[in-house]
Amino acid sequence: MGELEGFYALWYREIKVFTREKSRVVSSLVTPLLWIIVFGGGLGSAVSVAGVNYQVFIFPGILSMTILFSSVFFGLYIVWDKKIDFFKEVLVAPLSRTTIFAGKMVGGSIDSLIQGCGMLLFGLILGVKYSILNVLGALVFMLLLAAALVSLGLIIGSNMESVEGFQLIISFLVFPMFFFSGALFPIGNLPHYLLAFTVLDPVTYGVDGLRGLLLGTAQLPILIDLAVLGGFAAIMIGVGTWSFKRLK
Amino acid sequence: MTYAVETENLTKRYDDLLAVDTLNIQIKEGEIFGLLGPNGAGKTTTLSMLSTLLKPTSGSARVNDFNIITQPAKVRQSIGIVFQDPSSDDILTGWENLYLHALMFGVNKDRKKRIDYVLGLVDLRERANDIVKKYSGGMRRRLELARGLLHNPRVLFLDEPTLGLDPQTREHIWQYIENLVKTEKVTIIITTHYMEEADRLCNRIAIIDHGRVVALDSPSTLKSKLGGEVIKLQTRSPNLDQINKLDYISSVKQTENAVILTVKDASTHLQEILSKVGRIESVEVRTPTLNDVFLHYTGHEIREEAGEGGMMERIAQLRRGN
C-alpha cells in the first residue's frame, strides 16, 4: 500500500518534470530528425537497402537511437539528483529500494516511450505504412529497450559520483551501442571481426525487431529478438535493483 | 524517562578517519537539542546515522524507541529531516513537493488538509503553486521545514538550518523553528556551527570536536560554568608565567595573537592583569559567549571554513592533512 503510493510519487515526479521541460523533449527529437532527413535523405537519393529506400531503412534504427539516448541519459541523470540532495530525501523515505528503482525506471521508460511515439508519427510522414498490430508490437520492443537502457543508465549513475564521467560514457558506451546496432546498415554487410560487437550489442535486437515489425525486413527471427532483448532487460532491471539497494 | 534519541557508543570510521567517536547522548522529548561544532566535527555524520542513511561502524542508537540498525523503516517513518543542502525539487511547485513527500511517507488521512496546514505554518500558502526555482533561499528552507513536518514526525532533524542565509532570513527561520516547538509536539535536533544559533534556539547543546562530545549542557550553564568574565588581550608576547600565578584566573588560553583569560570579578582584577601581562595592543572584557565555552573545552576557536561542501568533500579535506 505505502510502497504503491511511493511508486506513484516517483513516477508522478518524472511526468511533471517531463511535461515541464518541454525544451528537453523537443531538442531530443531534433537530432534523430536530422539523421533521417539530412543523412537518410542525402544518402537515400543514391542508395536503397534491402528493397527499401535508405531513408526508410534507417527509420527503425533512428527510432531506437532516440530511445537509446533519452533512456541512458535519463538514468545518468540521477548523478545530478544525488548532487542536489533531492535524492537523499527519496532515500530517507520509508520505501524499499526496489520501489524507488521501479519508480525511476518506469518513469524514465515512459518518457522515452513518449519520445519514441513522436518518432512513430514522423514515420507516417516518411510514408512508412504500419498496421495497428505492428505498432503494438513495436511498442513492446520500444518499452523493453527503454526499460533495459534506463536501468543501464541508473546502474551507471548510481555508481558515479560526478557528472564529469558523462562524456566518457557517451563516447565509449552510448555511441558504440548506436553504431554497432545496425541502425544505419544491414548487419550482414559487416566484416566478421566487427560482427562480434554487433552480436553483443543488445540494441541490435531492438533495431532488428523494430525493422521487422515496421518494414518487414528483419534479419533475425522476431522471437529471437524478443528473447534477447527481454533477457537483457531482465538482467539490467535485476542489477539495477541491486545497485540501488547498496546505494548509500 | 524515555528519550527521543539515545545513542550508545555510536561510532563511524572512514578508513583512517574517526568521524564519530563513541558518542553517548540522550535527547529528551520536546527539547531543542544542538550539536555544535566546526565543519568536519562529525555532526552531519551523526545525523546521517540517526536517520539511517549511514550505517555505524560500531555502537547503536534508538530513535523514538526504534533501533536504527534493526528497525530502519520504523525510524524513518517517525522522523523528519531537513538536509544541509537544498533538497526540494526546483522543477516542481512547492505544493507538488509536499504532495510527493506525503505520498512517499504514507500520509493518507486528510492529505491535502495536512499539506495546507504545514504550508500555513511557514507562511507559504500564497506561493504554494509557484515553481520552487522562483523561491528565495529562505523560502526554500521554509518549504523544507514544512516538508520535514508533513508526516507528523516525533523527531525533526535540522542539519545546519540557516547555512548560507543572510542574517535577516536567518532570524526569520529561527522564529519559525521556535514557533514549531510551541505548536507541534516535536523534538528538534539541530546541527550548527553558528554560536548565536545554538545559543538562541537550543535548550541543551553538545559541543562536538573531532567526533567526540567535549561538553553537554544548557547554553547558560555552559557559559556560567566558565566561572566569571572573559578578558581577551591582543598581544604577541604575553608574560604567561606571571599570569598563571594569579589564583582568580580560572583558565588561560593562548591563540595566535591573543590571550584569553577567564576571570572572577574581572573589573577589580583588570589593573593587576594588565600590569603583569606585558605589552598589549588592545583589551576586551565581556561576559562569556559560547565561543569562549568552545575555546575552553577544545583549545581552539570554531572557525568558518572556506569550503562548505558536502560531508564527503570535507572528509576528503581532512584527509589531506588539515
Average pLDDT of the segment spanning B96-115? 91
Which of B92, B103, B105 is facing A16, going by the closest CB pair?
A: B92
Domain that holds residue A226: 2-245
Indicate whether B104 pLDDT > 80.
Answer: yes
A220 touches chain B (CB under 8 A): no
A245 touches chain B (CB under 8 A): no
* Residue from B235, B239, B211 nearest B298 by CA: B211
Cβ of A86 within 8 Å of Cβ of B91? The answer is: no
Residues 98-127 of chain B whose Cβ lies under 8 A from any Cβ of chain A: 99-101, 103-106, 108
Task: Identify which has the larger pLDDT, B227 or B20.
Answer: B20
Q: Give the mutation candidate from A88, A92, A96 for the B interface (greatest B CB count, under 10 A).
A: A92
Domain count, chain A: 1
In chain B, the domains with their CATH numbers are 3-218 (3.40.50.300), 227-287 (3.30.70.920)
pLDDT tens figures, B24-67 = 999 999 899 999 988 888 898 999 999 998 899 999 999 999 99
Output the tens digit of pLDDT for each of chain A's 248 residues. Answer: 578 999 999 999 888 888 888 887 788 889 999 999 999 988 888 888 878 889 999 999 999 999 999 999 988 888 887 777 678 888 888 888 999 999 999 999 999 999 999 999 999 998 888 889 999 999 999 999 999 999 999 999 998 888 888 888 888 999 999 999 999 988 877 888 888 899 999 999 999 999 999 998 888 999 999 999 999 999 999 999 999 988 86
Average pLDDT of the segment spanning B75-86? 89
A4 touches chain B (CB under 8 A): no
pLDDT band at B303 (very low <50, low <70, confident <90, very high): low
Indicate whether B308 pLDDT > 50.
Answer: no
A2 touches chain B (CB under 8 A): yes
- Judging contacts by C-beta atoms under 8 Å, the chain B residues touching residue A248 are 53-54
pLDDT band at B267 (very low <50, low <70, confident <90, very high): confident
Q: What is the ipTM of this complex?
A: 0.82
A12 touches chain B (CB under 8 A): yes
Average pLDDT of the segment spanning B117-139? 92
Give the chain B residue nearest A21 (alpha carbons): B91
pLDDT tens figures, B175-206 = 989 888 888 889 999 999 888 899 999 999 99
Indicate whether B306 pLDDT > 70.
Answer: no
Cβ of A84 within 8 Å of Cβ of B85? The answer is: yes
**The three three-digit cell numbers of residue B80, written as one number:** 523528519
